[in-house]
Amino acid sequence: MTPSTLQTLPQGIEYVRILPEIVLSAFGIVIMLLDPLVDQRRSSRMLGTIALIGSLAAIAASQYQTQCPPGTAFWDMVRVDAFSIFFHIVVTTVTAVVILTSFEYMDVQQLHAGEYYALVLFGAVGMCLMSSAVELVLIFIALEISSISTYILAGYRRRVAISSESSVKYFLLGSFATAFFLYGVALMFGATGSTSIAKIGETLNAGPVPLLAYVAIALMFVGLGFKVAAAPFHIWTPDVYEGAPAPIVGFMSTAPKAAVFAVLLRVLFEAHAPGRLWLIWVVAALSMTLGNIGALVQDNIKRLLAYSSIAHAGYLLVAFAALPSSGIPAAMFYTAAYAAMNVGCFAVISHFASAGERRVTLEDYAGLGRRSPILAATLTLFLLSLIGIPITGGFFAKFYVFSAALQADLVGLTVIGVLNSAVGAYYYLRVIVMMYMREPREETPVAPIPFGLGAALAISGFATLYLGLLPGRVLEYARSAAALLR
């Protein structure tokens, strides 16, 4: 920042461009302040409600941003356009659904609610900021805001050893990966003399690409690849997802991923990153294959979905190897569809898990179709969507990604992807078979679905079906947003 730019102070409109972040932070701070002051027994529901209002206000703020002209704010650090608003809405909606899911979860697990809701909101601040940041240092800060919140949230069941283990593993590996990202940023600054994505794009587009820029992109990709659990950097995923509280797994497998994919889209396409194709090709193929093969042998549903999320990161990355005109909208559509179905899946899991998260193995799901038809039916819907069966969002997500890949003549990668989808169908169907065709191990009725969880399931189920039946509107929006990116 040079002294001359400092003389122009931020205008009112610039604050509107970080309005969702301001709203989320304010509500998070209010929760932190109220948490020690109000009575602990009554605080859980109250703080949860405040967090829910906060996330709804943030959705409204993102909606309001669509009314304002797109543009940059705070000395070209933040840019709000259709692209960032898309991710703002995905992140804030996921946040609202996760908070709805957590109402019951916090009571059943007897967890203290205060910091939990605040951290979810603070995490969402980082994710929103990530999707609108166009400056690598700000991206790094946003990445850290979101990561540190999720590190703590992963260990929130602190009396359970496995949860602490998950938190420590996530923290150590996550910090290590962030260091890679930061090193990449430093080298990129060395190669191009700027940390602004637009300026980096200009420099790399104009002249011969320095060798340093290739190294920088590779290092940044390692850091970001870790956050989205892409294949050579995916080892942490099953252990962390197994130990973390179920609603939080739903949160951190969707919202931060969507935000980091937004960063990747900006870094790879807007900055004209060199050597993008091969990097993506290898990582996508590895993620899909290792994720799906790993998932085949899992007995714990959270581990199964962890491997499935690795595979889905792979499918998503296929779109990154395609041409920008079709690849970016496909990737955006995929993040939205994946967020809807995965957060729904984990809402069901967190309800069914009961106190102490006892019921998380596949055997526990035996006969769920008879014990709780509604729960089984919704989980089936989400699993079918994860397979990619038509009329669900997952189908069109995969369809757009693979057709984008074919348009770019990536036949090899598409074949690997389609074969992997077939492999993936096996383990998702295994859960469905368990639920409907096995005798239940215990006959005790499943706890009735409370209102908050019902609303969470309704929202994610509706979103999954909406994206599957009427994908046109979202895809058109993504197309118009992608056009702005180049």
Partner 1 sequence: MPQNYVPIFLFIALIGVLLPVTLLAAKLVRPDNPSKAKLMPYECGIDPIDSARGRYTVRYYIVAILFVVFDVETIFLFPWAVKFKALGAFGLLEMLIFLLILVVGYIWIWKKGALEWV
Q: Which residues bind partner 1 (CB under 8 A)?
A: 3, 6, 9-10, 29, 32-33, 35-37
Nearest approach, Cβ of residue 7 and partner 1 (Å): 8
Residue with tokens 């469905």: 432
CB of 155 to partner 1, least distance (A): 15
Cβ atoms < 10 Å from Cβ of 415 = 12
Comparison of 36 and 472: residue with beta carbon closer to partner 1? 36
List of long-range contacts for 302-305, beta carbons under 8 Å, 24+ apart: 302/241, 302/242, 302/246, 302/249, 302/349, 302/360, 303/238, 303/241, 303/242, 304/362, 304/427, 304/431, 305/241, 305/249, 305/253, 305/342, 305/345, 305/346, 305/349
- Report the amino acid identity of residue 191: A
- Report residue 279 as tokens: 């990097």
Closer to partner 1 by Cβ: residue 30 or 484: 30
Which is nearer to partner 1, 30 or 108 (by Cβ)? 30
Give whichever of 37 and 206 is closer to partner 1, judged by the CB atom: 37
Q: Least separation, in Å, of the C-beta of 63 and partner 1?
A: 25
Name the minimum Å distance from CB 37 to partner 1: 7
Minimum CB separation from partner 1 for residue 3, in Å?
7
Q: Which is nearer to partner 1, 122 or 236 (CB)?
A: 122
**In this complex, which beta carbon is closest to partner 1, that of residue 68 or of residue 211?**
211
CB of 194 to partner 1, least distance (A): 21
Minimal distance in Å, beta carbon 29 to partner 1? 5
Which residue, 15 or 64, is less far from partner 1 as judged by CB? 15
Rg of the chain taking only CA atoms, in angstroms: 21
HSE-CB of 338 using CA atoms within 13 angstroms: 31
